[in-house]
Amino acid sequence: MAVLDNLSTGHREAVASRHFYEGDIADLELVRFIIETHEIGSVIHFAAKSLVSESYAQPELYFRENTAQSFAFLEEAVKAGVKQVVLSSTAAVYGIPEAVPISEGSPLEPINPYGASKRMIEEYLQWMGRAHGIGWIALRYFNAAGAALDGQLGEDHRPEMHLVPLMLQTALGLRQRLYVYGTDYDTPDGTCIRDYIHVLDLAKAHILALGALENGLPGRALNVGTGRGFSVMEIIQKAEALIGDKLPVEYVERRAGDPHSLVADNSAMKSVFGWEPEHSDLDTILSSALRWHSAHPYGYGEQGPGRKRH
């Protein structure tokens, strides 16, 4: 396995492969070198910017780095001999869903540039499949969360925007308070509802997708979620029960582009792959994440305070 990453948001310590290349998918000479050197026939394409608020402020950045660069990267990869592609996609392609849980046949009407940029890559792969016989699967993530069960790998985003690590950083005293964005959504307690999928279950979905493509599965998009949603307040209450203390919470206005509820219909994943989420109960998600953050309070490669308190 070879890994290409520019480390703009990632960490070398999190990459287990000995075949690691620090570089960008926009470096097409490097892309071709890696594929030809390692005789690569299949690619899992994770590279992307993924902050919804940032995509609103800089749509040109998202359409350039997510969409345009993916087009060039995938074209070069196919020319170099790649036959299968698994795309890291997102539930953001649906926008505000007409019905919940959301099936893959729901309209694709993204309400932010991030979701739009991913929808375009999915469409590109569809046409590449028709024109060149490329096998592809787009895995539409819902809310990835949790950490390795042994505490060795976990979330370290800078800036951090995800609820679970934000809660635990607050519990560990790295943040002064936890902000809850919006309490006026059309949900039972007024906060957003999301479908949380453990990263181990998400990783297994990618392995199954690669195997299915190698066995000739036609190109398609598939939801990767648990089929059950939890509100922000439910997650906070569960975390408070785990740590045995109340979190300092401040309620602020909702963020632009946040749908009130995103919950997956995962029946296609189950029927096509025989996949079942094994680690995505809230207890496992939160306890594994707490184990990581407790062991790595300042993230990868930092031995002391490396973050500003928020």
Task: State the DSSP string of 187-202.
Answer: STTSS-EE-EEEHHHH
Q: Is 183 helix (H, G, I), strand (E, B) or coil?
A: coil
Cis ω for the linkage preceding 101 (within 30 of 0): yes
294: left (phi over 0), alpha (psi -120 to 50) or beta: alpha
Contact 236, 72 (CB under 8 A): no
Q: Is residue 141 flagged as an active site residue?
A: no
Contact 127, 268 (CB under 8 A): no
Provide the token pair at 204: 């297994």
Name, in order, each residue with C-beta under 8 angstroms of 220's C-beta and a sequence gap of 6 or more: 104, 137, 138
Helix/strand/coil (H/E/C) assignment for every residue in 253-300: CCCCCCCCEECECCHHHHHHHCCCCCCCCHHHHHHHHHHHHHHCCCCC
Residue carrying structure tokens 């959504």: 185
Question: What is the rounded distance in angstroms from the CA atom of residue 111 to the CA atom of residue 255?
Answer: 12
Q: Is 56 helix (H, G, I), strand (E, B) or coil?
A: helix
Catalytic residue among 21, 62, 94, 114: 114
Residue carrying structure tokens 């307690």: 189
Residue 106 Cα distances to 24, 67, 92, 144, 197, angstroms: 33, 22, 12, 21, 20
Residue 23 Cα distances to 3, 12, 31, 163, angstroms: 10, 12, 9, 29
Q: Is 61 helix (H, G, I), strand (E, B) or coil?
A: helix
Catalytic residues: 114
